Structure 1
């Protein structure tokens, strides 16, 4: 028997969103739209503002990445039409004022020269900057509701950037080993289909995992000189270590839930605080021991996720706000590069 199949029909985006500012931007900033956007970009986002002034211009959506330890701002510009030079100029104006930023251009259709411009920007800029071009489409099957789809037409080429950095002598033997270490941990988590969502590996002494609240994250860290490997919950909270005090008051319950004694690091004088869980007798440079270390880190991160995720979302006070003009991100603090 030949199965009966439906017919896929493309729908005019204006049928769902007649007005860009009144309909499309609010939808994109909603939980439904943001979930699709996160999947397309492979990053976790939290919307901070819509129609936000950046100097004399207004950005459609300003968001913050929640899967990085620094304040990494994401600007999203929408067009329910074909891309034009004016919007490209606005994107470059926004990027000029950012120390670390992701720029996302969403449009119904991309002119070839604009897609080439985004590819060129990704090729000539450092990994601190990311430029994405997303095409929005609507499709329906027979009489179904229209379903939105994002097609990624332009994005950073991480492989090219790594090759370029290596050719310029920018990646030391230690950095290359760190990259392989985090690639191994990422593979372990993906193989487990873990609830802890790994990001792309980078040649550094830490990697982070979003838990759904801006300014907080789980982390895995190594220190080659001190022969240390640990998992941690970190945050950049409001002044006065308010979040540290809120969490420290729950120390007995937290450690009871995890069945372990943790290292509570207030780090007075710094924005960041952390709660660390150390693996004894671990040397991150001993590649023969990596499978054990990766399994241990995956186990600890999976234990810590439900314990700290709910508590992070319950923290009161803001860990950061949208500045009026220029966004400046802070590097992770008090983390030894080894």
Structure 2
């Protein structure tokens, strides 16, 4: 019989004596913020520590790399308290389109219920996560962190209520309905068949975006019924879009040696965006008989773009 090690719990204060000088810098490290991101399903990068928001300072300020929205992280090495609850409400009131992550050693029942209530009552653009952190080791192994999600946005409820509001405002055209249905099928396929690409919420539009690990860089899947083609773009935006595009362009020869895809490089000098793309032509997205082929192609190209560009843009 194979002998297994015994999992031992380690007190947080044995590793981090102080929240601001020990735990916050540890969490702000790229590798550790990535572990937190995997727990809640959001890719994010750290923008600042001790960021002023009203009368308080948020522990860590991040950007959601998919849509460039703000993520604020408040942490404590003890059980949750009313002081920190007041602070996260201040953050929510002081920012637009924000995600609030509250990390603590232990969530009391009343604070867990409060986060659940906030997610139920707030609009879709504000999301609250409650996370408990624990530390473990096996005999003399290094101590390992575990983030436990205890409260999260009720996406099903919010998406249903948002969809209802959208339908009250406007009637979706047949094309929009078809687009949403295609992205829904792509989302399901990616969940079952890709370990690399994280699906996003399907919307009635001709594109859908995927995170690639850095703000102002986004992978986009495109369907174009008018021109009968589909595409995948690496979209580069922001104030430094042209500079960042040229940095990638300087490695064009090496990038193209690593792939069989026929890449199209577009600086778009008169636009805010630059992009690198690949297209599949002579295929009609309005014909559902083409969808299996399209979905497979989108998956393969999105994974290939992730492999080609993730590490490169991370180092820009």
TM-score (normalised: structure 1) = 0.81
Q: Unaligned 5+ residue runs, structure 2? A: none
Question: Residue 230 of structure 2 corresponds to which residue in structure 1?
Answer: 229
Tell me which residue corresponds to 1:124: 121
CA RMSD of aligned residues (A): 2.7
Do the aligned residues in 1 keep the contact of 2:50 with 2:57 (CA within 8 Å)? yes
Deviates more, 1:31-40 or 1:175-184: 175-184
Shift of 1:225: 4.6
Distance 1:149 1:251, change over 3 A: closer
Post-superposition offset of 1:74 = 0.9
Q: Counterparts in 2 of 1:123-202, with a 5 A limit?
A: 123-168=120-165, 169=167, 172=172, 175-195=176-196, 197-202=197-202
Is residue 71 from structure 1 mapped to residue 72 from structure 2 by the alignment? Answer: no
Counterpart in 2 of 1:306? 307
Alignment of 1:102-117 (within 5 A): 102-117=99-114
Aligned CA distance change for structure 1 residues 290 and 83 (closer, same or farther; 3 Å): same
Displacement of 1:274 = 1.5
Q: In the alignment, what sits opposite 1:220? A: 221
Task: Confirm or deny: 8 A CA contact 1:25 1:60 kept in the other structure.
Answer: yes
Deviations 1:27-60 (A, max 9, x none): 1112342232112111111111211222432110
Distance 1:223 1:98, change over 3 A: farther
* In 2: Cα distance, 1:175 partner to 1:154 partner: 33
* Residues 124, 162 of structure 2: 8 Å contact kept: no
Cross-structure match for 1:328: none
Hey, what's the Cα distance between the residues in 1 that align with 2:239 and 2:145?
38
Query: Which runs of 5 or more residues in structure 1 are unaligned?
Result: 316-338
The alignment of Structure 1 onto Structure 2 pairs a total of residues equal to 311
Q: Write the distance in 1 (CA, Å) between the matches of 2:31 and 2:246.
A: 34
State the TM-score, normalized to the length of structure 2: 0.86
Name which structure has the greater RCO, CA cutoff 8 Å, separation 6+.
Answer: 1
Moved over 6 A (4+): none
Partner of 2:293: 292
Q: Are residues 12 and 291 of structure 1, via their aligned partners in 2, closer, same or farther at CA, if it must alter by over 3 Å?
A: same
Contact 1:83–1:114 (CA<8 Å) still a contact in 2? yes
